[in-house]
Copies of this chain bind each other. A is one copy, B any other.
Amino acid sequence: MQNITVALDAMGGDFGPRVTVPAAVQALSHFPELKVILLGDQAAITSQLSILGYKPDARLSIQHCDRVISNSEKPSLALRNSNGTSMGSAIDAVASGKADACVSGGNTGALMALSRFRLKLLPGIERPALISALPTATGNKTWMLDLGANVSSDADSLFQFAVMGSALAEQNLQRAPRVAILNIGAEEIKGNDLVKRCAEMLSNTQSVNFVGYIEGNQLLHDFADVVVCDGFVGNVCLKTCEGTAQLFIDKLKSSMMSSSIKGWIARKLFSGLFNELKTLNPDQYNGASLLGLRGIVIKSHGSADVEAVTNAIGEALHEVKRQVPSRISDRLEAVLLERHY
Residues of A whose CB lies within 8 Å of any CB of B are 71-72, 74, 109, 137, 148, 151-152, 182-184, 187-193, 215-221, 229, 231-233, 235-252, 255, 262, 265-266, 269-270, 273, 276-277, 280
Contact = CB atoms under 8 A, between A and B. Distances in A.
A190 B243 CA distance: 19
B235 A184 contact: yes
Nearest to A147: B184
Given A244-B248, A251-B273, 8 more contacts: A72-B189, A151-B184, A217-B242, A237-B240, A248-B248, A248-B280, A251-B276, A251-B277
B239 A189 contact: no
- 9 tightest Cβ-Cβ pairs between the two chains A and B: A217-B243, A216-B239, A216-B240, A184-B235, A151-B192, A248-B248, A244-B244, A217-B239, A216-B236
A243 B218 contact: yes
Contact of A216 (B109, B189, B243, B248): B243
A247 B276 CA distance: 12
B240 A217 contact: yes
Contact of A240 (B241, B255, B270): B241
B277 A270 contact: no
A193 B151 CA distance: 9
A269 to B, nearest CB: 5
A118 B255 CA distance: 51
B235 A232 contact: no
Contacts of A252: 252, 273, 277
10 contacts: A109-B190, A151-B192, A216-B236, A216-B241, A217-B239, A219-B243, A220-B244, A236-B237, A252-B273, A262-B269
Given A137-B247, A218-B243, A248-B248, A74 B237 contact: no
Nearest to A136: B247
A135 to B, nearest CB: 10
A20 to B, nearest CB: 21
Contacts of A188: 72
Contacts of A231: 184
B192 A232 contact: yes
A260 to B, nearest CB: 10
Contacts of A248: 244-245, 248-249, 277, 280
B270 A266 contact: yes
A257 to B, nearest CB: 12
Contact of A235 (B216, B242, B270): B216
Contact of A236 (B236, B246, B255): B236
B189 A74 contact: yes
